[in-house]
C-alpha cells in the first residue's frame, strides 16, 4: 500500500528548523511538495498557476455540477505564503484515500523562494529560517529571524465529502486535528464527478469547496532523462472525460541532500505531453544534484477558500510517479553502486 500523504506534499517543503521544537504541531501531511509537497505549491487559475510568491486573482475555471446543473467555480491553488493547509482526495495505483489538515497559520519553511520562471514552469528554493537564540518549545523560526508560535492544526468540525465512490464523513482525530479516510473504494471517484466538501461549524466556520473527478493516470512509470542543454520532454495519458478543468502538475527534485535545494514545478495544460525548457533544466542542475532524484506528474483539480487570514485548498488528484535519470550523476547506497574508480559518499548518496 503506497499512501502518499502530502503533497508533500511534500517532504520537499518541510524541513527541521535548527533549535526549533516542531512537536507542537508538526508539518501538515498535506503541506507540498510536496509534496504537496510538498513545493507546494501557488495561487491562480487551474490552467496556469502563477509563481508561489504572487497572490494574483484570475478568472476561475468552471464545470457543470452533475446534481444541479449549476456551474462549479474552481478558484485554483492558494499562494504558499497564505496556505494554511488542504484536503486531498487522491487515487493512486490501486489505492484511494482522503487526507486533510488545516492549521491556524503558515509554517515558514513551506514558503519557497521563486528562483526563475519560464512559461508554466518555475524553480523554487527552500530556505531554512535561522534564529539565534533558538526558538523554544511550541515555536518555530520565521524568515526574518524571529520566533513565532508554531501553527496548530484546527478542529474544522465534521467534514463531509460527496460525489465520491462511498460516503466520506470525517471527524477530527486526536492528537493533531487530522482528517483521513483509508477505506474509500478504489477508484475513489469517477472522471467528471462533481465532488463537494462541506463541514459543520468549525474553527473557520462552515467550509464549502468543490472538486471534479479526474481521469486516473494508470500506466507504467515513465523514465525522464535530465540532461544539460536539453528540454525535458514528458508525456502522460491524455484525459478522456470532457469538460474537466484539470491541470498536470509536474514536480521534480534532483537534490535530495542539499541545504537549500531547488525544485522544479510546472502546471501544464492537461493535454498529455509537455516540455520543460532547457534553460530551466540547466539552472536546476547548477543548483545541485544529490541522492536519488524523484519526480511525478499529477492530474488534479484545485479549489480554494479563505480561512481567517489565510487560505485552504481542496484537491482531487491522480499521480503518476516517474523514474529519473540525471546524466552524469550516479546515486548510491554503497560503493558497489558506483562505477569503477568511484566511491559512494553516503551523506549525500552520490558516487564520485
Ordered by start, the domain boundaries in the chain are 22-351
Please spell the DSSP secondary structure of 75-136, one letter per residue. Answer: --PPPGGGEEEEEEEEEETTEEEEEEEEBSS--GGG-PEEEEEETTEEEEE------SSPP-
Q: Quote the DSSP letter at residue 24.
A: G
Residue 195 C-alpha from the chain's centroid: 20
Please spell the DSSP secondary structure of 51-65, one letter per residue. Answer: PTT-----PPEEEE-
* pLDDT of res. 69: 55
CA distance linking residue 34 with residue 13, whole number of Å: 6
Predicted model pTM? 0.82
* pLDDT of res. 73: 81
CA distance linking residue 307 with residue 151, whole number of Å: 14
CA distance linking residue 327 with residue 265, whole number of Å: 20
Contact 100, 159 (CB under 8 A): yes
3-class state of residue 337 by DSSP: helix
CA distance linking residue 222 with residue 240, whole number of Å: 20
* pLDDT of res. 259: 87
Phi-psi region of 117 (alpha: psi -120 to 50; beta: other; left: phi over 0): beta
The continuous run of DSSP H or E covering 225 comes out as strand 223-226
The C-alpha cell at 159 is 467534514
* pLDDT of res. 336: 97
Q: Quote the DSSP letter at residue 344.
A: E
Q: Give the chain's residues under pLDDT 50.
A: 1-62
Contact 180, 99 (CB under 8 A): yes
* pLDDT of res. 42: 38
Dmax over CA atoms of the chain, in Å, equals: 67
pLDDT for 151-178, tens place per residue?
A: 999 999 999 999 999 999 999 999 999 9
pLDDT for 41-73, tens place per residue?
A: 333 333 333 333 333 333 344 455 555 555 678
* pLDDT of res. 71: 61
* pLDDT of res. 119: 97
Q: Which of 196, 229, 33, 188 shows the shortest CA–CA distance to 98?
A: 188
The C-alpha cell at 164 is 465520491
* pLDDT of res. 158: 98
* pLDDT of res. 70: 59
Q: Which of 120, 103, 115 shows the shortest CA–CA distance to 156?
A: 103
Please spell the DSSP secondary structure of 248-282, one letter per residue. Answer: EEEEEE-BTT-SS-EEEEEEEESSSEEEE-HHHHH
Q: Which residues does residue 168 pair with via DSSP β-bridges, in sequence order? A: 161
Amino acid at each position: 500500500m503506497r499512501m502518499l500523504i502530502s503533497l508533500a506534499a511534500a517532504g520537499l517543503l518541510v524541513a527541521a528548523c535548527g533549535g526549533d521544537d516542531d512537536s507542537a504541531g508538526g508539518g501538515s501531511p498535506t503541506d507540498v511538495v510536496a509534496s504537496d509537497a510538498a513545493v507546494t505549491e501557488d495561487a491562480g487559475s487551474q490552467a496556469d498557476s502563477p509563481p508561489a510568491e504572487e497572490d494574483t486573482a484570475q478568472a476561475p475555471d468552471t464545470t457543470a455540477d452533475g446534481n444541479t446543473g449549476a456551474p462549479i467555480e474552481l478558484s485554483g491553488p492558494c499562494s504558499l505564503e497564505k496556505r494554511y493547509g488542504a484536503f486531498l482526495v487522491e487515487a493512486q495505483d490501486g489505492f484511494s484515500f482522503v487526507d486533510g489538515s488545516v492549521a491556524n497559520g503558515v509554517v515558514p519553511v513551506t514558503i519557497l523562494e521563486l528562483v526563475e520562471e519560464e512559461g508554466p514552469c518555475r524553480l523554487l528554493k527552500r530556505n531554512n529560517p535561522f534564529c539565534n537564540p533558538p526558538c523554544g518549545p511550541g515555536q518555530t523560526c520565521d524568515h526574518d529571524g524571529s520566533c513565532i508560535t508554531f501553527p496548530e492544526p484546527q478542529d474544522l468540525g465534521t467534514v463531509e465529502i460527496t460525489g465520491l465512490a462511498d460516503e466520506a464523513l470525517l471527524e477530527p482525530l486526536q492528537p493533531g486535528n487530522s482528517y483521513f479516510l483509508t477505506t474509500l473504494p478504489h477508484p475513489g471517484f469517477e472522471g467528471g464527478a462533481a465532488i463537494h466538501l462541506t463541514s459543520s461549524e468549525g474553527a473557520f466556520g462552515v467550509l464549502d469547496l468543490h472538486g471534479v473527478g479526474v481521469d486516473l493516470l494508470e500506466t507504467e512509470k515513465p523514465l525522464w532523462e535530465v540532461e544539460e542543454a536539453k528540454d525535458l520532454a514528458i508525456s502522460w495519458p491524455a484525459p478522456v472525460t470532457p469538460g474537466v478543468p484539470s491541470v498536470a502538475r509536474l514536480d521534480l527534485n534532483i537534490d535530495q541532500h542539499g541545504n537549500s535545494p531547488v525544485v522544479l514545478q510546472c502546471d501544464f495544460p492537461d493535454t498529455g505531453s509537455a516540455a520543460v525548457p532547457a534553460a530551466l533544466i540547466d539552472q536546476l542542475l547548477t543548483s545541485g544534484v544529490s541522492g536519488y532524484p524523484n519526480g511525478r506528474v499529477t492530474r488534479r483539480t484545485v479549489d480554494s477558500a479563505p480561512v481567517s487570514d489565510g487560505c485552504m485548498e481542496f484537491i482531487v488528484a491522480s499521480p503518476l510517479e516517474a523514474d529519473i535519470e540525471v546524466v552524469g550523476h550516479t546515486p548510491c547506497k554503497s560503493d558497489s553502486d558506483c562505477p569503477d574508480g568511484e566511491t559512494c559518499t553516503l551523506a549525500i548518496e552520490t558516487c564520485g
